[in-house]
Amino acid sequence: MTNIRLCYQTIEFGLIDIHLCTLRNKQEFHDPEGVADKLGISSAAWPIFGIVWPSSLVLAHHIFNYDTDSKRVLEIGCGTALSSLLLNKRKEDITATDYHPEVEHFLNRNTTLNGDNLIPFERTDWADSNDSLGRFDLIIGSDLLYEDAHIELLAGFIKKHANPACEVIIVDPGRGRKNKLSKRMLEFGFIASFSKPKNTDYLDDDFKGYILTFVRTV
């Protein structure tokens, strides 16, 4: 990873500081052996994993004030894994996943940077039926609904890894697919609700999206 430019920043959550090493900008690209290309990740899409997006910040601030005690938590499409790093700092039971081949490298680097234990990680595709993740009490993610085709894959992945009683929190920047996802989640026994983040002073611009919450009880 010596041919890309990096950025270091610290994000505050109350008295907790999370230190991050990320890509410097959205123009960075480094795939000399074509690993990402073989996975179908283009040069334009390659850097998306390594930027702290507004939805990621919204999710992390929401999770900071959320009761995650004693829950087994899964972050899907974690990217820079800001929420995972925050939960790990609080000694929560967190597992992270993403499809991008460089995510684990940055996750381990940032976990070490924060002086914490490594976060369990599995690189997996939402269509993968052979992962070893197991089931979770809380599933979180941000900015996941890029295409209509993702709705069925995401819903199926959640169904596979959700405990009978499960909460799902997804922050969507307003890509217009929340209702379609909600309809599918309803078929799996979840009740949906949408809300706006209460305070986004930590963002440079107004957040036009929603926090999607899905709850299934037994």
Neighbours of 87 (CB within 10 A): 26
pTM of the model: 0.96
Quote the pLDDT of residue 176: 86
Q: Does residue 41 form part of some domain?
A: yes
When the pLDDT of each residue in the chain is averaged and rounded to a whole number, the result is 95
pLDDT tens track for 105-162: 999 999 999 999 999 999 999 988 788 999 999 999 999 998 888 899 999 999 999 9
Residue span of the structural domain in which 48 resides: 6-216
CATH number of the CATH domain containing 145: 3.40.50.150
- DSSP annotation of 104: H
Quote the pLDDT of residue 3: 77
Average pLDDT over residues 98-107: 97
Residue indicated by tokens 């993740």:
133
Q: Is the pLDDT of residue 73 over 70?
A: yes
Quote the pLDDT of residue 37: 94
Quote the pLDDT of residue 146: 85
Note the Cα 140 to chain centre separation in Å. 6
Average pLDDT over residues 70-77: 97
Q: Does residue 17 form part of some domain?
A: yes
Q: Does residue 81 form part of some domain?
A: yes
Give the Cα separation of 40 and 42 in Å (integer). 6
Q: Does residue 144 form part of some domain?
A: yes
Average pLDDT over residues 79-104: 97
Q: Does residue 20 form part of some domain?
A: yes
Express as a percent the part of the chain with pLDDT over 90: 90
**CA-based nearest residue to 113, from 11, 29, 4:** 11
Average pLDDT over residues 53-63: 97
Q: Does residue 126 form part of some domain?
A: yes
Which residues lie below 8 Å from residue 119, measured CB to CB, with a gap of 6+?
81, 84, 85, 88, 94, 95, 96, 107, 111
Count of the separate structural domains present in the chain: 1
pLDDT tens track for 184-216: 999 999 999 999 998 899 999 999 999 999 999
Q: Does residue 1 form part of some domain?
A: no
pLDDT tens track for 166-177: 999 999 999 889
Q: Does residue 21 form part of some domain?
A: yes
Q: Is the pLDDT of residue 1 over 50?
A: no
